Amino acid sequence: MHILTQLHTLNVTLNSSPLKKMNPSPSKNTATLLITCPDSKGIVAAIAEFLYQHNANILHADQHQDAENNLFLMRVEWDLAGFSLATNDFEAHFAAIAQRFNMQWQLNLSQKPLRVAIMVSQYDHCLADLLHRHKNGELACDIPLIISNHRDTEALAKFYGVDFHYIAVTKDNKAAAEAAQFALFDEYQIDLIVLARYMQILSADFVARYPKQIINIHHSFLPAFIGAKPYHRAFERGVKLIGATAHYVTEVLDEGPIIEQDIDRISHRDQVEDLIQKGRDLERVVLSKAVRWHIENRILLYANKTVIFD
In tens digits, what is the pLDDT along the chain, a chain of 310 residues? 443 333 333 343 334 444 544 444 457 899 999 999 999 999 999 999 999 999 999 999 999 999 999 999 999 999 999 999 999 999 999 999 999 999 999 999 999 999 999 999 999 999 999 999 999 999 999 999 999 999 999 999 999 999 999 999 998 999 999 999 999 999 999 999 999 999 999 999 999 999 999 999 998 777 776 777 887 887 888 887 888 999 999 998 878 999 999 998 987 888 888 888 888 999 999 999 999 999 999 999 998 999 999 8
* Domain endpoint, select from 67, 91, 109: 109
Query: Using CB atoms within 10 A of its CB, is residue 75 exposed (0-12), middle (13-18) or buried (19+)?
Result: buried
Bridge-based pairing state of the strands 299-302 and 258-265: unpaired
Q: For 48, what's the count of Cα atoms within 13 Å in the CB-facing half-sphere?
A: 9
Bond into 144 cis (ω within 30): no
- Measured CA to CA, the distance from residue 70 to residue 82 in angstroms comes to 35
Q: Check whether residue 142 and residue 284 sit in a common domain.
A: yes
Instruction: Give the helix/strand (H/E) hosting 47.
Output: helix 43-53
* Domain endpoint, select from 84, 109, 134: 109
Question: Helix 125-135 vs helix 272-295: angle between axes, to the nearest 10 degrees?
Answer: 40
Q: What is the pTM for the complete model shown?
A: 0.86
Helix (H, G, I), strand (E, B) or coil at 240: coil
Q: Check whether residue 99 and residue 123 sit in a common domain.
A: no
What angle (nearest 5°) sits at the alpha carbon of residue 122, between those of residues 117 and 126? 55
Q: Which amino acid is at 142?
A: D
Q: Check whether residue 274 and residue 302 sit in a common domain.
A: yes
* Domain endpoint, select from 79, 109, 139: 109
Domain that holds residue 35: 30-109
- Strand-pairing partners, residue 265, are 241
Q: Check whether residue 147 and residue 276 sit in a common domain.
A: yes
Q: Check whether residue 158 and residue 234 sit in a common domain.
A: yes
Q: Check whether residue 105 and residue 222 sit in a common domain.
A: no
Longest Cα–Cα distance in the chain: 75
Bridge-based pairing state of the strands 241-248 and 258-265: antiparallel
The 10 Å Cβ neighbour count of residue 61 is 16
Listed residue (228, 230, 232, 212) closest to 220, CA to CA: 230
Q: Hey, CA dihedral for 135, 136, 138, 141, is it positive or negative?
A: positive
In 149-303, beta strands by DSSP E: 163-166, 192-195, 214-218, 241-248, 258-265, 299-302
Structural domain total, the chain? 2
- The pLDDT of residue 269: 87
Query: Using CB atoms within 10 A of its CB, is residue 56 exposed (0-12), middle (13-18) or buried (19+)?
Result: buried
- The pLDDT of residue 172: 92
Give catalytic residue positions. Answer: 254
Q: Check whether residue 285 and residue 201 sit in a common domain.
A: yes
- Measured CA to CA, the distance from residue 41 to residue 43 in angstroms comes to 6
Question: Is residue 13 situated within a structural domain?
Answer: no
> Residue 73 maps to which CATH number?
3.30.70.260
Q: Check whether residue 189 and residue 125 sit in a common domain.
A: yes
- The pLDDT of residue 264: 87
> Residue 281 maps to which CATH number?
3.40.50.170
- Measured CA to CA, the distance from residue 204 to residue 126 in angstroms comes to 25
